Amino acid sequence: MKQEFPHITHCLTHQRPEDQTSMLGLVCVECKHRLYAAPPSGNRRSFWESQPAAYSLDRRPCFVYTLMWDDFRIRSLHAAESSVDARSPLHAENSESSPPNLF
């Protein structure tokens, strides 16, 4: 029986696991505080960075997904097995239970 591990992303800004729920989805505890205490301003943009930021132990590339506003940025390192970020607008369109886009 194959054991499944959760695909927890890692905040590169604060070097913490993204395990806190927010209106955007999972974020680290410090990003969550920032989102609620001083919400970012401007349009939200999101994209995958084109170069691998790290490699798994079996040498598979790990990429970074970025959420960016005019005054705030969340950079998340994804495990090599993950190819979708739940906070992506494309993922939200395909998901019936997606969180509301408040920004």
**Other Cβ atoms closer than 10 A to 84:** 14
Phi/psi of residue 67, nearest 5 degrees: -110, 130
pLDDT of 93 reads 52
| Alpha-carbon gap, residue 76 to 17, rounded angstroms | 9
pLDDT of 90 reads 59
Segment-wise mean pLDDT, segments of 10 residues, the chain, 103 residues: 60 94 93 96 92 89 94 92 76 47 41
